[in-house]
Amino acid sequence: MATPIKNPFTWVEIYVDDMSRAQKFYETVLAIKMIAMQAPGDFGDLEMLSFPWEPGQGNISGALCKTNDIKPGVGGTLVYFTSEDCATETSRVEAAGGKVLQTKFQIGEHGFISVVMDTEGNSIGFHSDK
């Protein structure tokens, strides 16, 4: 019997230049409250704000990260946030200071996605089943 596929994702870091601006963007668009987080170990100037999550529930989470060592921008990793209807989060993007790159569209039997740019120049996506 084959081993069941395990979700390989555990943590996502989205790098930002302006932490308060990025925090406001993500809290507005996702209708969440970011959680203050102490950077692990000695990582110099690293600042972190965590997305909400429940330990032990099998979900992944991540954080907004600000450091002089890594900069945000287009062309890097594309992170998709789960959503009930990705059009909802997408509709909040421009008012929160971001830019809509691709409005909601169907990806065959896998649901729908939209792609936006946050206030830091990172491209991010939203995924929903409807």
CA 88, CA 85: separation in Å to the nearest integer?
Answer: 6
pLDDT single digits (tens) 57-114: 777 889 999 998 888 887 777 899 999 999 999 999 999 999 999 999 999 889 999 9
CA 62, CA 22: separation in Å to the nearest integer?
Answer: 14
6 occurs within a structural domain: no
pTM of the predicted structure, to 2 decimals: 0.84
Residue 118, domain extent: 11-128
Tell me how many domains the chain contains: 1
3 occurs within a structural domain: no
61 occurs within a structural domain: yes
Q: Tell me, what's the pLDDT at 1?
A: 60
4 occurs within a structural domain: no
Which strands make up the sheet holding 112-117, listed edge to edge?
79-82, 123-128, 112-117, 99-106
Q: Tell me, what's the pLDDT at 4?
A: 67
Q: Tell me, what's the pLDDT at 61?
A: 86
5 occurs within a structural domain: no
67 occurs within a structural domain: yes
- Which distant-in-sequence residues (6+ apart) come within 8 Å of 21 by Cβ? 97, 119, 120
CA 109, CA 125: separation in Å to the nearest integer?
Answer: 18
- What residue spans of the chain are helical by DSSP H? 19-30, 86-92
Q: Tell me, what's the pLDDT at 70?
A: 83
49 occurs within a structural domain: yes
- What residue spans of 75-116 are helical by DSSP H? 86-92
CATH number of the domain within which 110 lies: 3.10.180.10
CA 113, CA 128: separation in Å to the nearest integer?
Answer: 6
